[in-house]
């Protein structure tokens, strides 16, 4: 009986650490080395995820969207970088990573009609698709 319980606990812990990205455990700010300038460009609903001081309350969180929206705000940091001079010469690779995270968010919020960031995600998708086409990429999400 003890062996079964230990195996269940071990499997549960393994599953928890597999499903929760290390960036969520360590903090997105440190994981991405996000600067204050980059974080200031994010919408307010991302600020709590990036530990902005005083970011408390509904306007600073993602509401009614499910658990698969976690990669969205880090994707916005990568999107800011992909559009900037740092990605000069290789924007398609950077945009491809953003595309994957935005597609994950889109599928994650599909069953949450009251998701607070739905319009923002749609606008990001439109801009992302445009840039991907410019650089010769094929978007994963809706066209």
1 domain-assigned? no
Contacts of 88 (CB under 8 A, 6+ apart): none
In this predicted structure, what is the pLDDT of residue 135? 85
Question: What mean pLDDT value characterizes the chain?
Answer: 80
Q: Has residue 113 got a pLDDT over 90? A: yes
143 domain-assigned? no
**Dihedral, CA of residue 105, residue 107, residue 112 and residue 117, to nearest 10:** 30
Distances (CA, A) of 103 to 12, 34, 52, 55, 108: 27, 22, 26, 27, 8
**DSSP assignments along 52-110, one per residue:** -TT--SGGGS--SS-GGGTTHHHHHHHHHHHHSGGGTT-HHHHHHHHHHHHHHHHHHHT
Contact 97, 78 (CB under 8 A): yes
Q: Has residue 12 got a pLDDT over 60? A: no
129 domain-assigned? yes
Domain that holds residue 128: 22-134
47 domain-assigned? yes
6 domain-assigned? no
CA gap 108, 35 in Å, rounded: 27
In this predicted structure, what is the pLDDT of residue 4? 46
76 domain-assigned? yes
pLDDT tens track for 46-64:
998 888 999 888 888 888 9
Contact 77, 34 (CB under 8 A): yes
Element (H, E) at 41: helix 36-41
Q: What is the number of structural domains in the chain?
A: 1
pLDDT tens track for 129-139:
999 998 888 87
141 domain-assigned? no
89 domain-assigned? yes
């Amino acid at each position: 009986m003890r062996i079964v319980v230990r195996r269940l606990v071990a499997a549960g812990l393994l599953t928890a650490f597999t499903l929760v990205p290390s960036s969520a455990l360590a903090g997105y700010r440190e994981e991405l080395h996000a600067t204050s300038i980059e974080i200031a460009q994010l919408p307010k609903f991302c600020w709590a995820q990036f530990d902005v001081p005083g970011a408390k309350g509904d306007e600073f969180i993602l509401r009614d969207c499910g658990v698969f929206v976690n990669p969205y705000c880090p994707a916005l940091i990568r999107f800011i970088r992909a559009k900037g001079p740092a990605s000069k010469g290789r924007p398609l690779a950077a945009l491809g990573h953003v595309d994957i995270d935005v597609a994950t968010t889109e599928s994650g919020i599909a069953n949450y009609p009251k998701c607070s960031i739905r319009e923002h995600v749609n606008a990001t998708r439109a801009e992302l698709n445009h840039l991907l086409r410019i650089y010769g990429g094929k978007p994963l999400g809706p066209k």
